């Protein structure tokens, strides 16, 4: 429903009206946060304009409330009725229930407000949960009104209508704060295009991170269902905005540096045809008489092209994950295993020897143990290696994770790490080897689990850069639906698509990614491949913010891995072959060297790419026939 504007005015005249504007009540209950759907209006009463919000049902008896169920991060019990059809901790959409009796605070009619525009001090754009845009109004008395979310859009229309009465001027200290001034006969209204209010920033990708959506996610890992907590924090009063004369104050969390605009500016050529190969099924041929690997790069190419046959995974994974050096002899590997076994059990004894009385005085260790015990009991239980009660596989899973806390106590255990360990333990079926392979994997992804979430923000930004170059139309559509932050890809990147593909497919995908070919950010190209495969469904089905999240989440176990891998490699080759690729895209792909740099150019990566091009053109048969002890 679009906003309605009147072209003429009368006493008590409705000037503008927009439905689907949700007021967030900032309810103080442990398990539920509430928003109430209603109307935003500009009304002239006796010639005086006012901005008003009222619920759908003014009597307050039948107005449905949207209840965002939260898991047990803030105390309280879990909602036993929370059953969205997938595991709640990983849900990208919270349960939506229309039950008027559960509104936790005063009836919806009591939330209605009317603010004379002469009393409007400021409008602030805020992006709290999951990239949603909120509008926070503040009166001249310094009192912020409850945040408003325009579920069906319409903020631009509202602001155009407001400019008939007031001037909205961007604050020089805060790009998302707009101060309201009365219209003067001698003052021309500002251009609406200058305001760019609640616009997701167009090509300015950093504006997609207006507010860190992950600031509250690590009470017990990145529960996307808890993102709504940030939306219900009391808005900051603009009265207390930091001034340049007070540099001693810390930066506000929504302050951001400038950022280069990202535009492709060139036409990409067609995607090359890519053919996958067969799994690597030879190993001894790549070893010399002392057991050294003679051609590590050839092995990586073959693994990237087709994965590894299951019987060889136990051995080759230990090289891919750094447990064994590629140039080690068989004798050296025996020595490494002996030393690493001793080291592992020394760390294991540390937590095994902690008495109950000691643990009662160590809240951190006690918290790690509690999280691990909870997660172990629900990790890959469909797999026979972890199924059933009193399963020794579950004991190994628990013990390895507890020992990792001793190995890296600063990071400790964060929910999701059990998902990274279970495939490794399934393949190695060895406690010591799985532990050291996990440490190698965590070297690649440990920053994903750090509380600052800077690595996740950076990866989502890099994904946005790639997608903008590949498919600007899809980016624009996602932006228009408040989904430009790509927050729905968070789970993909966090644990490398563990929940998106079958267990067997994950074994193949991870070993492909562990080769680090053709670039270290190939996992971002995997995400691009998935998004491009869904573009027609996303754009053509009139999805909004919620249904985009729901659709992406429902892709779980429905994606074809080989098709996704072909698409990701084709995307890389398409970008690599572009003669005028934007600098920031090159940086994401590891292809950029500053013109003034005297360092070596990325010739090695270029040669790797040329080999991939030739292999993809030759096809699977030619690729597989390359198996052998020789190295080019």
- Residue 404 sits in a domain of what CATH number? 1.10.8.270
Residue 528 lies in a domain: yes
Closest to 20 measured CA to CA, from 198, 202, 158: 158
What tokens were used for 534?
């869904």
How many structural domains is the chain composed of? Answer: 3
Report the CATH number at residue 166. 2.30.29.230
What tokens were used for 566?
């072909």
Residue 608 lies in a domain: no
d(CA 19, CA 400): 53
Residue 244 lies in a domain: no
* pLDDT number for residue 71: 35
d(CA 422, CA 193): 52
d(CA 575, CA 529): 13
d(CA 593, CA 602): 8
Residue 202 lies in a domain: no
Give the contacts of 431 (CB within 8 A, at least 6 positions apart): 344, 396, 399, 400, 425
* pLDDT number for residue 287: 96
- Say whether both 45 and 119 belong to one domain: yes
Closest to 396 measured CA to CA, from 426, 368, 370, 366: 426
Q: What is the dihedral of CA 69, 73, 77, 78, to 10 degrees?
A: 40
Q: Would you call 370 helix, strand, or coil by DSSP? A: helix
HSE at residue 81, side-chain half, CA atoms within 13 A, is: 9
What tokens were used for 128?
């709290």
What tokens were used for 248?
């001693």
At 515, which helix (H) or strand (E)? none
d(CA 500, CA 519): 22
What tokens were used for 168?
């909205």
Please answer whether residues 38 and 51 qualify as being in contact, where contact means their C-beta atoms are separated by less than 8 angstroms. no
At residue 301's C-alpha, the angle toward residues 470 and 568, to 5°, is: 20
- Say whether both 39 and 177 belong to one domain: yes
What tokens were used for 611?
């080999």
Residue 492 lies in a domain: yes
- Say whether both 317 and 363 belong to one domain: yes
- Say whether both 464 and 587 belong to one domain: yes
What tokens were used for 303?
């693994």
d(CA 545, CA 94): 13
* pLDDT number for residue 153: 78
* pLDDT number for residue 24: 81
Summarised one tens digit per residue, pLDDT across range 513-523 is: 999 999 999 99
Please answer whether residues 257 and 263 qualify as being in contact, where contact means their C-beta atoms are separated by less than 8 angstroms. no
Q: How many CB atoms lie within 10 A of CB 319?
A: 20
Model pTM score: 0.61
Give the contacts of 276 (CB within 8 A, at least 6 positions apart): 305, 306, 562, 565, 566, 620
- Say whether both 148 and 48 belong to one domain: yes
d(CA 241, CA 172): 11
- Say whether both 40 and 147 belong to one domain: yes
Report the CATH number at residue 463. 1.10.472.80
- Say whether both 429 and 456 belong to one domain: no
Give the contacts of 510 (CB within 8 A, at least 6 positions apart): 423, 496
Residue 536 lies in a domain: yes
The mean of the pLDDT values for the chain is 75
Domain limits for position 517: 213-232+267-307+452-592
Question: How far apart, in Å, are the Cα atoms of 147 and each of 113, 214, 227?
Answer: 12, 19, 15
Q: What are phi and psi of 285, to 5 degrees?
A: -65, -20
Low-confidence ranges of the chain (pLDDT < 50): 1, 6-9, 27-33, 59-108, 128-131, 185-265, 598-600, 620-630, 632
Residue 404 lies in a domain: yes
* pLDDT number for residue 498: 96
Radius of gyration of the CA atoms of the chain, in A: 28
Closest to 117 measured CA to CA, from 48, 53, 189: 48
- Say whether both 382 and 456 belong to one domain: no
The β-bridge partners of 182 are 166
Peptide bond into 518 cis (omega under 30): yes
- Say whether both 337 and 400 belong to one domain: yes
d(CA 369, CA 406): 12
Helices marked H in 212-271: 228-231
Q: Is 487 left (phi over 0), alpha (psi -120 to 50) or beta?
A: alpha
- Say whether both 48 and 115 belong to one domain: yes
- Say whether both 434 and 481 belong to one domain: no
Q: How many CB atoms lie within 10 A of CB 180?
A: 20
- Say whether both 412 and 323 belong to one domain: yes
Residue 477 lies in a domain: yes
Tell which of 402, 424, 447 closes a domain: 447
Please answer whether residues 472 and 268 qualify as being in contact, where contact means their C-beta atoms are separated by less than 8 angstroms. no
Closest to 231 measured CA to CA, from 24, 467, 479: 24
């Amino acid at each position: 429903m679009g906003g309605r504007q009147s072209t003429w005015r009368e006493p008590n005249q409705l000037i503008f009206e927009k439905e689907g504007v949700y007021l967030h009540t900032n309810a103080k209950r442990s398990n539920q946060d509430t928003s109430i759907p209603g109307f935003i209006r500009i009304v002239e009463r006796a010639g005086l304009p006012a901005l008003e919000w009222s619920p759908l049902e003014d009597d307050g008896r039948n107005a449905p409330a949207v209840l965002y169920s939260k898991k047990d991060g803030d105390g309280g019990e879990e909602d036993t009725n929370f059953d969205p059809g997938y595991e709640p901790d990983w849900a990208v959409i919270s349960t939506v229930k229309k039950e008027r009796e559960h509104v936790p605070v005063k009836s919806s009619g009591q939330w209605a407000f009317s603010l004379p525009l002469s009393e409007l001090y400021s409008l602030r754009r805020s992006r709290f949960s999951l990239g949603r845009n909120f509008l926070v109004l503040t009166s001249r008395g310094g009192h912020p009104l409850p945040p408003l979310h325009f579920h069906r859009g319409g903020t631009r229309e509202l602001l155009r209508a407001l400019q008939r009465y007031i001037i909205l001027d961007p604050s020089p200290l805060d790009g998302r704060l707009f101060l309201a001034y009365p219209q003067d006969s001698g003052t021309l209204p500002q251009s609406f295009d200058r305001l760019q209010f609640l616009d997701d920033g167009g090509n300015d990708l950093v504006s997609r991170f207006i507010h860190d959506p992950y600031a509250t996610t690590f009470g017990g890992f990145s529960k996307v269902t808890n993102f709504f907590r940030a939306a219900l924090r009391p808005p900051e009063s603009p009265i207390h905005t930091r001034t340049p004369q007070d540099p001693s104050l810390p930066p506000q969390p929504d302050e951001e540096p400038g950022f280069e605009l990202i535009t492709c500016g060139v036409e990409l050529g067609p995607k090359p045809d890519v053919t996958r190969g067969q799994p690597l099924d030879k190993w001894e041929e790549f070893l010399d008489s002392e057991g050294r690997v003679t051609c590590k790069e050839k092995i990586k190419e073959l693994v990237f092209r087709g994965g590894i046959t299951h019987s060889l995974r136990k051995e080759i994974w230990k090289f891919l994950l750094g447990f064994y050096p590629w140039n080690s002899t068989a004798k050296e590997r025996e020595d490494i295993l002996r030393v690493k076994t001793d080291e592992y059990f020394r760390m294991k004894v540390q937590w095994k020897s902690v008495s109950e009385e000691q643990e009662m005085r160590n809240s951190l260790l006690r918290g790690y143990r509690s999280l691990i015990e909870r997660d172990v009991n629900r990790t890959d239980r469909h797999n026979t290696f972890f199924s059933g009660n009193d399963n020794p596989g579950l004991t190994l899973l628990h013990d390895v994770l507890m020992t990792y806390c001793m190995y890296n106590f600063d990071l400790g255990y964060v929910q999701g790490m059990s998902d990274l360990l279970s495939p490794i333990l399934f393949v190695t079926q060895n406690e010591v080897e799985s532990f050291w392979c996990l440490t190698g994997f965590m070297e690649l992804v440990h920053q994903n689990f750090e509380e600052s979430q800077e690595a996740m923000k950076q990866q989502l930004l890099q994904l946005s850069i790639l997608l903008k170059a590949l498919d600007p139309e899809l980016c624009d559509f996602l932006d228009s639906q408040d989904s430009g932050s790509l927050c729905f890809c968070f789970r993909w990147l966090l644990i490398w698509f563990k929940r998106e593909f079958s267990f067997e497919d994950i074994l193949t995908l991870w070993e492909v990614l562990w080769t680090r070919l053709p670039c270290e950010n190939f996992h971002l190209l995997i995400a691009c491949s998935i998004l491009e495969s869904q573009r027609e469904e996303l754009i053509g089905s009139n999805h909004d913010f919620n249904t985009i999240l729901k659709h992406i989440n429902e892709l779980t176990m429905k994606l074809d891995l080989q098709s996704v891998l072909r698409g990701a490699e084709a995307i890389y080759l398409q970008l690599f072959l572009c003669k005028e690729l934007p600098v920031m895209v090159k940086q994401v792909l590891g292809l950029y060297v500053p013109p003034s740099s005297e360092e070596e150019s990325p010739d090695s990566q270029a040669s790797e790419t040329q080999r991939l091009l030739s292999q993809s053109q030759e096809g699977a048969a030619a690729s597989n026939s390359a198996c052998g002890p020789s190295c080019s």
